């Protein structure tokens, strides 16, 4: 069947919502078109797409450490998924570049694939497979960071021992014809340098090199099928979906063509497809414009969260009171299409986000995000660094060593008791709507989620006592930030919080502190 790839995607005549207002004939015709022409990551091929609950982004934790965390911490805490670093064989630098380049194995080697075997800094294919199955047994699905826009742009050898040159990666194999190159042909990049010079130019953003990385010709069917084969191999291991690196530089049409070739996951669902699209681009380059092809990363939300939580001594940027409106009302992508987070590996280094370096304020922001109901919330756990290029803890060959939460080298945010408490709270309140919003107009906010849970957050520097409506039945509750219900009392000797018969609570929220109540922890 001929199909104009530039035409708008054909959809059932009633859009994506089914109603009884159409005739049987129209329904039949609609379904015929629907199945023949569309299969994107929003479930439009008639199968449900995997939708992660709360996930942990275990950035560059090695596979055996991720497996251990799934069993001992993530599963028991109620994390429903884990995102892992790019598992493909990648650049292994053998010498420093020039200038101020002092790190032989910077963390970003993994964003430079050489081939799609699973021999990486994080472990072997066997360790990857064992990790996926261990995590799934612990109730934690695995989502993979997929680097499919480009191949490596530097070096000549990989962690798997493969040799290559720019535009020739024999282990895949890819040859020069599989890449966008500087030139004037239909598949070429027409910028004078061959790189992206104008991030608002659609042609350059899709077809020119990002950071000198060899740009795959992702509209070529042969390239698409090799990329789909890689992702299907991962799905075969039990992977549930992908964070698509540099998705903005692939473009909707090529992303859709690759996605259509993906198999269903072990759970019988279409894979989750979370597209990395930095904001700031106009029209078709905006994050909003990629929600037709899948979910997107909440990168604009990262900045709004930073601005609400971060106040500098001399420059007060924002306040928690601004978070009364957060989500589509504040210009962000729709909640059900967004992977939301306080930071990721890029934004913790580029100033866009709060990071572990912000201490209790960073934890508070994560606790608030888990309570907010916006997006599929993701908690980031990486490694500490002093310079932006620093390697994760590794041996002399760049192989990442086992993560250890006692050394200060790994941030282990997912193990923090306040975070764990709010993961449970998040899972318990489910989709209940926000209600009973309170703010002092400054840095204290509180709200309930339906009548299932209530939480308060104080980003100020002194304790604040509030008397507010919780929406909860009267009784005594354990503050999930510090304790849990155990028999008729709260763990850790924490005093219960009393809600009166009208649903009112009077409680003191400490500086950079939170209080979280839910009916699962009612005495």
Give catalytic residue positions: 245, 276
With 0-12 CB in 10 A as exposed, 13-18 as middle and 19+ as buried, what is 65? buried
Which parts of 14-112 fold into alpha helices (H)?
24-37, 63-69, 75-77
CB of 372 to ligand LM2, least distance (A): 24
Q: By CB under 5 A, is residue 209 in contact with Ca ion?
A: no
Helix-then-strand count for the chain, H and E: 12, 22
* Shortest CB 508 distance to ligand LM2, Å: 41
Closer to Ca ion by CB, 196 or 353: give it.
196
Q: Tell whether residue 212 is a contact of ligand LM2 (CB under 6 A).
A: yes
Q: How many residues does the chain have?
A: 523
Longest dimension (CA), the chain: 75
208 binds ligand LM2 (CB under 6 A): no
Residue 211 in contact with ligand LM2, rule: CB under 6 A:
yes
Residue 245 touches Ca ion, criterion: CB under 5 A: no
From Ca ion, ligand LM2, none, which one binds at residue 111 (CB under 5 to 8 Å depending on kind)? Answer: ligand LM2
| β pairing state of 464-469 and 504-509 | antiparallel
367 is a contact residue toward Ca ion (CB under 5 A): no
* Contact of residue 153 among ligand LM2, Ca ion, none (CB under 5-8 Å per partner type): ligand LM2
Q: Please, are residues 255 and 294 in contact by the beta-carbon 8 Å criterion? A: yes
Residue 246: CB minimum distance to ligand LM2, A: 3
Residue 394 sits at the vertex; the CA angle it makes with 416 and 101, to the nearest 5 degrees, is 110
Kindly tell me which residue out of 50, 276, 358, 367 binds ligand LM2, with binding defined by CB under 6 A.
Answer: 276
The least distance separating ligand LM2 from the CB of residue 383, rounded to whole angstroms, comes to 14
* Binding range to Ca ion, per CB under 5 A, among 37-45, 65-73, 104-112, 244-252: 244-252
Rounded Cα gap, residues 221 and 176, in angstroms: 15
What three-state secondary structure class fits 36? helix
Binding mask 106-125 for ligand LM2 (x = CB under 6 A): --x--xx-------------
Instruction: Tokens for 363, please give them.
Output: 């934890």
Q: What residue 108 binds from ligand LM2, Ca ion, none (CB within 5 to 8 A, per partner kind)? A: ligand LM2
Which residues share a beta bridge with 157?
Answer: 163
Q: Which does 115 bind (CB under 5 to 8 A by kind): ligand LM2, Ca ion, none?
A: none
For Ca ion, give the closer residue by CB, 274 or 455: 274
The interface with Ca ion within residues 131-170 (CB under 5 A) comprises: 149
Placement of tokens 């009393």 in the chain: 498
Based on the shown chain and the rule CB under 6 A, indicate whether residue 390 belongs to the binding site for ligand LM2.
no
Could you say whether residue 215 binds Ca ion (CB under 5 A)? yes
Question: How far apart are CB 156 and ligand LM2 at their closest, in Å?
Answer: 12
Interface characters, 148-187, with ligand LM2 (x: CB under 6 A): -----xx---------------------------------
> Which of 69/215 has CB closer to Ca ion?
215
**Alpha-carbon distances, residue 134 vs 61, 87, 160 (angstroms):** 15, 17, 24
Query: Which of ligand LM2, Ca ion, none has residue 215 at its interface (CB below 5 to 8 Å by kind)?
Result: Ca ion
**Both tokens of residue 435?**
């209600």
Q: Enter the DSSP assignment of 154.
A: S
> Least distance from C-beta 31 to Ca ion, angstroms?
34
Between the two ends of the chain, the Cα-to-Cα distance in Å is 63
307 binds ligand LM2 (CB under 6 A): no
Instruction: Please state, in angstroms and rounded to a whole number, the distance separating the CA atoms of residues 257 and 218.
Output: 9
Task: Tell me how crowded residue 173 is: count the other CB atoms within 10 A of its CB.
Answer: 11
**Closest approach of Cβ 107 to ligand LM2, in Å?**
8
Stretch of residues binding ligand LM2 (CB under 6 A), selected from 42-50, 209-217, 254-262, 354-362: 209-217
CA neighbor of 303 nearest in space, from 285, 321, 280: 280
Contacts of residue 506, Cβ cutoff 8 Å, sequence gap at least 6: 465, 466, 467, 498
- CA neighbours closer than 13 Å in the CB half-sphere of residue 444: 19
The Cβ-side half-sphere exposure at 220, using a 13 Å CA radius, reads 19
Please choose which of Ca ion, ligand LM2, none residue 258 contacts, taking the beta carbon within 5 to 8 angstroms, the exact cut-off set by kind: none
CB of 240 to ligand LM2, least distance (A): 20
- Residue owning tokens 């906010």: 445
Of the candidate residues 45, 188, 346, 476, the single one contacting ligand LM2 (CB under 6 A): 346
List residues near Ca ion by CB under 5 A.
Answer: 149, 215, 249
List residues near ligand LM2 by CB under 6 A.
Answer: 108, 111-112, 147, 153-154, 211-213, 245-246, 276, 346
């Amino acid at each position: 069947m001929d199909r104009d790839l530039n035409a708008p995607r054909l959809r059932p005549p009633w859009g994506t919502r089914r109603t009884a207002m159409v005739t049987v004939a129209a329904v039949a015709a609609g379904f015929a078109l629907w199945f023949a022409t569309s299969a994107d990551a929003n479930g439009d091929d008639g199968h449900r797409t995997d939708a992660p609950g709360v996930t942990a982004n275990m950035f560059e934790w090695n596979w055996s450490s991720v497996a251990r965390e799934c069993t001992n911490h993530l599963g028991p805490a109620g994390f429903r998924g884990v995102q892992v670093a790019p598992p493909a064989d990648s650049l292994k630098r053998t010498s420093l570049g020039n200038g101020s380049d002092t790190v032989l194995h910077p963390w970003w080697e993994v964003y430079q694939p050489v081939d799609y075997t699973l021999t990486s800094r994080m472990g072997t294919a066997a360790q990857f497979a064992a990790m996926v199955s261990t995590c799934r047994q612990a109730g934690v699905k695995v989502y993979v960071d997929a680097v499919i826009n480009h191949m490596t742009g530097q070096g000549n050898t990989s962690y798997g021992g493969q040799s290559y040159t720019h535009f020739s990666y024999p282990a895949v194999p890819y040859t020069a014809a599989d890449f966008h190159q500087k030139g004037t042909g239909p598949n070429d990049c027409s910028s004078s340098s061959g790189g992206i010079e104008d991030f608002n130019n659609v042609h350059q953003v899709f077809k020119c090199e990002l950071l000198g990385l060899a740009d795959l010709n992702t509209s070529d069917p042969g390239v698409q099928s090799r990329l789909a084969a890689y992702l299907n191999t991962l799905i075969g291991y039990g992977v549930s979906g992908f964070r698509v690196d540099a998705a903005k530089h692939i473009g909707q049409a090529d992303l859709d063509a690759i996605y259509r070739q993906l198999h269903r996951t072990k759970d019988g669902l279409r894979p989750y497809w979370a597209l990395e699209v930095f904001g700031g681009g106009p029209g078709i380059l905006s994050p909003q414009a990629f929600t037709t092809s899948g979910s997107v990363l909440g990168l604009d939300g990262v900045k709004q969260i930073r601005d609400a939580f971060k106040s500098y001594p001399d420059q007060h940027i924002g306040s928690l009171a601004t978070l009364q409106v957060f989500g589509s009302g504040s210009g962000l992508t729709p909640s059900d299409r967004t992977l939301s987070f306080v930071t990721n590996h890029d934004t913790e280094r580029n100033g866009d986000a709060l990071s572990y370096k912000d201490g209790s304020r960073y934890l508070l922001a994560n606790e608030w995000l888990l309570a907010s109901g916006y997006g599929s919330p993701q908690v980031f756990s990486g490694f500490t660094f002093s310079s932006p290029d620093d390697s994760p803890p590794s041996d002399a060959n760049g192989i990442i060593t086992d993560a250890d939460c006692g050394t200060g080298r790994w941030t282990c945010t997912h193990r923090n008791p306040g975070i764990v408490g709010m993961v449970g709270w998040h899972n318990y309140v489910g989709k209940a709507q926000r209600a009973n919003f309170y703010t002092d107009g400054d840095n204290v906010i509180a709200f309930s989620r339906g009548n299932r849970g209530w939480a308060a957050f104080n980003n100020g520097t002194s304790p604040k006592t509030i008397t507010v409506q919780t929406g909860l039945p009267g009784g005594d509750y354990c503050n999930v930030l510090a304790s849990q219900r155990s028999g008729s009392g709260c763990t850790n000797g924490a005093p219960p919080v009393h809600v009166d018969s009208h649903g009112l609570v009077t409680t003191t929220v400490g500086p950079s502190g939170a209080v979280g109540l839910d009916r699962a922890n009612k005495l």
